Chain A
Amino acid sequence: MVKVRGAISGNHPLSEQLIQAILDFKYGRNSKDRVKELFQKELSELIQLQEQLGFARVSTGALGIEDVLRPFTRTLGSLKSYEVIGDLPINRYHYTNTFYRQPKLVSKFPDDASVYKSDKNGLSDDNVLALNHLKNRESRIVVPGPVTFTKLIDNSENVYPSEQEQILETAKYLSKEISSLPENFKEIQFDEPVLAWKNISRSYRESIRDAYTTLKSAAKSRDLIINTYFESSENVVPFLLDLPVDGVGVDLVNTNLLSITDYSFDKKILQAGILDSQNYKPNVDGSLDTSDTKLYSRLTQALVELEPKELILSSNTGLDYLPREIADAKLRQLGEIIKESEE
């Protein structure tokens, strides 16, 4: 019997109330204490929601973290201007209307892990991992994968002689960061959307394989999942399945299910991004229309027939592109889909 569970697969949005508090703070209309108070409440509620829905490994949804690179941009000494982030250029995160500050790599990655130990969340001023909320809970974290990390930053200083070498060095550095994570982080999702966006040449594939061998070695018994999204994963799935990782994430909003049914998932966790993080079907009042829950539960049954080691249902990536109410409604729908598919 294939175990099916739900998960948050990326950044989760802030509530309207917290956003208003942030804007009020930004424009001098209230204190940061109000922001901190709401942040703690909101994070607590998000974790409770996951527990209510039976998500076995909970996530902070990177709540309040400005962009996927920000903990590194802010804290990693190898990235230029990490103390004056406001001067860094703004770059569009592909396929979205969301942007990130692009750091420049100016020196080799350090030998020690520093970011997850010392970076502070901009909204809480607490450690970025929010361990006070996660203690004693099996947890998961989303980390930019070495290929995507390499592609997103400015490499014009040529710190490493080739991109392939930089991918390997990034993996070595990230392996130290993930080794530094507390024991309760049982699952690490490496986001590698770039692998679905671009054709990956054979020579790169070797470097990527070596990079993930390094990462898996550091992850030890933690499950390591590599996730792709915003384009069809069809062409890259066989390559991903061949990597030394525990699980593979497929964007089923953009990938035809029939295109991956011939592959063998039996030794891997399949993270199925079945819900769209960039759109939803509305009822007349704008709320989420969940009338397709039954259809999704049938899709889930079809995914079970692929006989993966385990099936994680999620949105194709974090729900940060939707308002919080809709995002939470999608998480609840995931819970319903899992229930229905078990009946």
Chain B
Amino acid sequence: MSNLDIDFLTHEVGSLRKPNAFIKAGRNQKLTDADFDEFKGFLSLVGETEVSEELKNLFTRVGPETANDKDLHNELAKWRVWYNVKYKESSGIDLIDAGEWIRREMYQHIVDNDVVSGIKMLQHVRSFDYNFYKVGVNTSPIQYDRSKSIHVQEFKWASEVATKPLKVCVTSFNTVAEWSLKGKNNFDDLMFDFIDEVFVPETIKLLDAGVNWIQMDEPALTTHPKHVDTFVDGWNYWVDKISGHLKPDTVLGLHNCFSDYNLLWPILPDMKNLGAITLEFANRDTWKLGTDDESRVAFAEHKQVLKNLYDTGFKAKAALGVLPVHTDHETSPELIRDRLLYIQSFIDDPKLVLAAPDCGLRQRSLEVSHKVLKNMSKGAELAKKELE
């Protein structure tokens, strides 16, 4: 494991688009020669040229007749995780998350599986543009099968191939409660039911399996302002319940995006053991190079409050997004450098400044994502050079 205590540590935040071959295999569709050719294009991104014999054999067995072959699909799931890790490592980033290519969608992954019950999945609703997600409704008490886990296997597979430190991204309890239609329940009770029944045992399993960095994904955190304080109660309650399993260097991170940060800043000092924040900023920023307030308008808006926060002892690592995720417009290494240097100008300690995209790059092609993640790594190196 390499040291995480470095200047401008780079990492990715969430889900990425999946290679089509894995999607088709997951749907039990026969792969064609064109699918194999396309997959080779993906392999070229991770520095490989040919599909391994083992994976080729698995792919060729896929079809309607093997739809119920759990061993086959389990093996393919392992390869998904392996290649996800290789893809990220090949982009040069420092901290790798454990996969997400075996997850269908971040909300569905938590509530629609053979571990958790109580949420009935419904059909799609709009997220934005022509993007959609499936919602669920609370129909019965939330329950968790303690003999199983949602994330541990994914982490173990990732650990088999990772040469860099790993984190696990977990869709967190506030967001799961926000995104669930409450049915006859209410937000507060549903969120605490999730914490007690799902998140406490699941987190303990992850920590006991050796996970040292958990990113709690909370994109919905400020959706309802009146729920923000309830979230802080929930977070601290959750930390108390898992505290016996934390190591001194365990990082509990918070990811939030496309939100009202004015609601977020006041609660951060009140959150126990908060080790990292990962937020969306580049989406709101200009495309101009420069480390002046006008060029870095998104960061400048919150500069003073963040400076005050860090000047008064806040110590969480801060990844204020330097890479937008909802555009194909390429962010250059120089622009990433300037964003990082601007952030460092008010957080001061470059070891507390992390480089990350605003959110997951799922909406982008694998080629575009790889390119911009590489740019992010280069941008972090350029920023380090400026500080030398």
Complex contacts, B284 vs chain A, CB 8 Å: 89
Question: Distance in Å from the Cβ of A173 to the closest Cβ of chain B?
Answer: 25
Could you say which of A19, A100, A325 has the most chain B C-beta atoms within 10 Å of its C-beta?
Answer: A19
Q: Is A23 an interface residue (CB 8 A)?
A: yes
Question: Distance in Å from the Cβ of B126 to the closest Cβ of chain A?
Answer: 6
Q: Contact: B128 with A89, CB < 8 Å?
A: no
Range of interface residues on B (Cβ < 8 Å) = 35 or more
**Interface residue from A90, A122, A325 paired with B128 (Cβ < 8 Å):** A90
**Interface residue from B124, B127, B326 paired with A98 (Cβ < 8 Å):** B127
> Which residues of B in the span 99-157 have a Cβ within 8 Å of any Cβ on A?
120, 122-130, 132-133, 135, 137, 139
> Which residues of B in the span 276-294 have a Cβ within 8 Å of any Cβ on A?
283-284
Q: Is A26 an interface residue (CB 8 A)?
A: yes
Q: Is B70 an interface residue (CB 8 A)?
A: no
Q: Contact: B125 with A122, CB < 8 Å?
A: no
Complex Cα distance, B178 from A95, in Å, reads: 10
Complex Cα distance, B178 from A49, in Å, reads: 31
Q: Contact: B128 with A99, CB < 8 Å?
A: yes
Knowing A92-B259, A282-B120, A282-B139 are in contact, say whether A97-B183 is a contact too (CB < 8 A). Answer: no
**Interface residue from B182, B183, B224, B329 paired with A87 (Cβ < 8 Å):** B329
Complex Cα distance, B128 from A67, in Å, reads: 7
Q: Contact: B124 with A282, CB < 8 Å?
A: no
Question: Distance in Å from the Cβ of A198 to the closest Cβ of chain B?
Answer: 11
> Which residues of A in the span 84-112 have a Cβ within 8 Å of any Cβ on B?
86-87, 89-92, 95-101
Q: Contact: A89 with B124, CB < 8 Å?
A: no
Q: Is B179 an interface residue (CB 8 A)?
A: yes
Q: Is B229 an interface residue (CB 8 A)?
A: no
Q: Contact: A281 with B183, CB < 8 Å?
A: yes
Knowing A86-B328, A281-B183 are in contact, say whether A19-B137 is a contact too (CB < 8 A). Answer: no
Complex contacts, A279 vs chain B, CB 8 Å: 181-183
Q: Contact: A323 with B326, CB < 8 Å?
A: no
Q: Contact: B127 with A92, CB < 8 Å?
A: no
Q: Contact: B126 with A98, CB < 8 Å?
A: yes
Q: Contact: B125 with A323, CB < 8 Å?
A: yes
Could you say which of A19, A90, A324, A325 has the most chain B C-beta atoms within 10 Å of its C-beta?
Answer: A90
> Which residues of A in the span 58-86 have a Cβ within 8 Å of any Cβ on B?
66-67, 86
Interface of A, secondary structure class, is: loop
Q: Contact: A96 with B122, CB < 8 Å?
A: no
Knowing A92-B258, A280-B181 are in contact, say whether A98-B128 is a contact too (CB < 8 A). Answer: yes
Q: Is B43 an interface residue (CB 8 A)?
A: no
Q: Is B44 an interface residue (CB 8 A)?
A: no
Complex Cα distance, B105 from A194, in Å, reads: 31
Complex: chain A residue closest to B184, CB-CB: A281
Q: Contact: B137 with A280, CB < 8 Å?
A: yes
Complex Cα distance, B329 from A66, in Å, reads: 21
Q: Is B308 an interface residue (CB 8 A)?
A: no
Question: Distance in Å from the Cβ of B301 to the closest Cβ of chain A?
Answer: 10
Q: Is B297 an interface residue (CB 8 A)?
A: yes
Question: Distance in Å from the Cβ of A159 to the closest Cβ of chain B?
Answer: 17
Q: Contact: A90 with B258, CB < 8 Å?
A: yes
Knowing A86-B328, A286-B137, A325-B123 are in contact, say whether A97-B178 is a contact too (CB < 8 A). Answer: yes
Q: Is B220 an interface residue (CB 8 A)?
A: yes
Complex contacts, B123 vs chain A, CB 8 Å: 16, 19, 323-325
Complex: chain A residue closest to B326, CB-CB: A90
Complex Cα distance, B175 from A140, in Å, reads: 35
Write the residues of chain B forming the contact surface with A, with a CB cutoff of 8 angstroms: 120, 122-130, 132-133, 135, 137, 139, 178-179, 181-184, 219-220, 223-224, 258-260, 283-284, 297, 324, 326-329
Which 3 pairs show the lowest CB-CB distances between chains A and B? A99-B128, A323-B123, A16-B123
Write the residues of chain A forming the contact surface with B, with a CB cutoff of 8 angstroms: 13-14, 16, 19, 22-23, 26, 66-67, 86-87, 89-92, 95-101, 122, 156, 278-282, 284, 286, 320-326
